[in-house]
């Protein structure tokens, strides 16, 4: 690859890193008065990045490189990934970018007011405006008659509605009876989460212990606090995580940290030779999420992991956990109950929240559902899937910020993450039959090493589903996830789970 193209890749990657750093700082440390200045700085940096990306000389260089026969396989992948990103940017009219930014500002504002008023009506006009712009965007970026595909492509490159819908529909139909069977056991929520006090300094220290336990490199990253935990990476050697501390709800810190650490391990694991190139990137948000869910749920809510860590947790919170043993803790952190709020959902009910949103998003983009009917369509599905009726729109259709940003196509990446996580974990267990024994003695290195080799260090060499297929022998499937749920929750709840 010629040095000019290589240096442009470095430049785009550096700009992207600095944009991420400024955005991280905005969420974590920015003084209140600096918000307008930071917005301007970020806007300038975004414009610079965009200008460099759509530069016709870059387009020519990529086309020449693509035609030349002397690229290594990694260089071919770099050209392919950057060409795709560039074409999406080129096809996005500048007028639409400006209009979307304004509509997002109005969307967020109207969403906040609507939440305050507990009424969707206040949000409806802003949402309709955003939807019209996203339809325009989808048409500008191109699709085969399915607008949703063009938006999904922004988060899950290569995934299509035609591939996704049958999998999510089958998942939904398997989960509904499973949730009902578990709910019929009527187990009360764990007493150790019933208002007992957990010192937040001790919580913080325990999250740092967990980061070390899973092998997050604290010399190539750090953890801070924010209201909503997130991961933000500028480089494999600079990965920032956040967590949140709540004196009455220690699980949000423990599992928030494990979740973000899963994202962080992925970002820290990109290959050295891919640094500052388009290959030092995740192939999709779903695959990114597979790594966070794997550590948070498949490892972090598992008995082997806590067999090692529970004694230290009990030592950190001797009063709150005085009457709790390992089995009680394990059952408590895996309590299943249909609930209204997605971000509070357990891993059995969680995907039903996603399927509900996916179906509504698709219907909106296809003009099959008028915006005005969104709340009633939401409530009707909540009843069918989870047996619940939201008391107001704030606990229903207005609960997530995604649509206020006009983000359609993002929600399914959470479900893809859960399904990919289960398939990758099943493959890891096949490859590492002693894995549970390793976790029981606090050794996460075999699993981490396997994930590093199979997924993290591969960067964006392959699209997400092809990467999963290369590792597991099969692409997207709900089989491993459902098998995992049946085995785990069947045992925890003493019921035989079908579906
Ligand atoms: Zn995540």
132: which residues sit within 8 A by CB, 6+ positions away?
Answer: none
Give dist(CA 154, CA 85) in Å, integer.
Answer: 9
Does the annotation place 46 within a ligand binding site? Answer: no
Q: What is the mean pLDDT of residues 208-226?
A: 98
Q: In the structure encoding, which two tokens stand for residue 201, read together?
A: 């300094």
- d(CA 330, CA 301) in angstroms, rounded, equals 7
pLDDT tens for 261-288 read: 999 999 999 999 999 999 999 999 999 9
Q: What is the mean pLDDT of residues 187-204?
A: 95
Residue 235 has pLDDT above 80, yes or no: yes
Q: pLDDT category, 499, cuts 50, 70, 90?
A: low
Catalytic residue among 260, 267, 347, 359: 260
Domains defined along the chain, listed by start: 3-90 (no CATH), 143-499 (1.10.1370.30)
pLDDT for res 498: 78
Is 373 a residue of the active site?
Answer: no
Rounded to whole angstroms, the Cα distance separating 448 from 434 reads: 14
Q: What's the pTM?
A: 0.97
CA–CA separation, 325 vs 121, rounded Å?
49
| Beta-bridge partners for 293 | none
The alpha carbon of 243 and the centre of ligand 1 are apart by a number of angstroms equal to 12
pLDDT at residue number 104? 93
Whether the predicted pLDDT of 337 surpasses 70: yes
For residue 224, the SS3 value is: strand
Q: Which of 78, 17, 468 is nearest to 236 (CA)?
A: 17
| Residue among 278, 284, 283, 281 nearest 10 (CA) | 278
Ligand 1 ion local residues (Cβ < 5 A)? 292
Question: Sheet harboring 221-225: ordered strands across?
Answer: 221-225, 238-243, 231-235
Burial 434-446, CB ≥16 within 10 A → b, else e: ebeebbbeebbeb
What's residue 186's pLDDT?
87
289 marked among binding-site residues: yes
Ligand 1 centre and the CA of 418: distance in Å? 10
User: Residue 453: in which H helix or E strand, if any?
Assistant: helix 445-454
Ligand 1 midpoint to CA 76 (Å) = 29
Q: Nearest-5° angle of CA 35, CA 36, CA 38?
A: 65
């Amino acid at each position: 690859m010629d040095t000019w193209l290589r240096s442009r890749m470095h430049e785009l990657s550096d700009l992207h890193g600095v944009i991420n750093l400024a955005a991280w700082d905005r969420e974590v440390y920015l003084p209140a008065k600096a918000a307008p200045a930071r917005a301007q700085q970020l806007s300038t940096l975004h414009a610079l990045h965009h200008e460099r990306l759509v530069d016709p000389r870059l387009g020519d260089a990529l086309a020449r490189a693509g035609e030349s026969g002397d690229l290594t396989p990694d260089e071919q992948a770099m050209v392919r990934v950057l060409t795709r990103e560039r074409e999406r940017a080129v096809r996005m009219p500048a007028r639409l970018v400006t209009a979307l930014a304004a509509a997002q500002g109005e969307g967020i504002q109207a969403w906040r007011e609507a939440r305050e008023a507990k009424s969707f009506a206040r949000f409806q006009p802003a949402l309709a405006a955003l939807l019209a712009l996203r339809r325009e965007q989808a048409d500008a970026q191109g699709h085969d008659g399915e607008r949703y595909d063009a938006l999904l492509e922004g988060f899950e490159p290569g995934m299509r509605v035609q591939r996704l819908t049958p999998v999510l529909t089958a998942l939904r139909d398997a989960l509904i009876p499973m949730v009902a069977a578990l709910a019929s056991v009527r187990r009360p929520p764990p007493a150790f989460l019933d208002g007992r006090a957990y010192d937040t300094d001790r919580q913080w220290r325990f999250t740092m212990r967990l980061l070390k336990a899973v092998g997050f490199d604290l010399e190539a990253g750090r953890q801070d606090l924010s209201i909503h935990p997130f991961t933000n990476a500028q480089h494999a050697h600079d990965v920032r995580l956040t967590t949140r501390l709540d004196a009455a709800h220690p699980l949000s810190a423990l599992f928030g940290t494990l979740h973000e650490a899963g994202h962080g391990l992925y970002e820290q694991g990109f290959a050295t030779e891919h640094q500052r190139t388009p290959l030092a990137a995740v192939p999709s948000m779903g695959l990114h999420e597979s790594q966070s869910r794997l550590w948070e749920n498949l490892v972090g809510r598992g008995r082997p992991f806590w067999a090692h860590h529970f004694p230290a947790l009990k030592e950190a919170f001797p009063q709150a956990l005085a009457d709790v043993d390992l089995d009680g803790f394990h059952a408590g952190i895996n309590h299943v109950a249909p609930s209204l709020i997605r971000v509070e959902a357990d891993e059995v009910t969680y995907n039903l929240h996603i399927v509900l949103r996916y179906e509504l998003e698709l219907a909106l983009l296809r003009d099959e559902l008028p915006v005005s009917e969104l709340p009633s369509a939401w409530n009707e599905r909540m009843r069918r899937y989870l047996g619940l009726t939201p008391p107001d729109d704030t606990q229903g259709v207005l609960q997530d910020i995604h649509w206020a940003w006009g983000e359609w196509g993002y929600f399914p990446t959470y479900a893809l993450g859960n399904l990919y996580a289960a398939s990758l974990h099943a493959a890891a267990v096949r490859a590492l039959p002693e894995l549970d024994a390793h976790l029981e003695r606090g050794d996460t290195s075999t699993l981490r090493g396997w994930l590093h080799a199979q997924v993290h260090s591969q960067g964006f060499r392959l699209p997400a589903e092809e990467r999963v297929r290369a590792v597991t022998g099969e692409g997207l499937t709900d089989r491993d996830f459902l098998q995992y749920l049946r085995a785990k929750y069947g045992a925890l709840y003493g019921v035989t789970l079908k579906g």
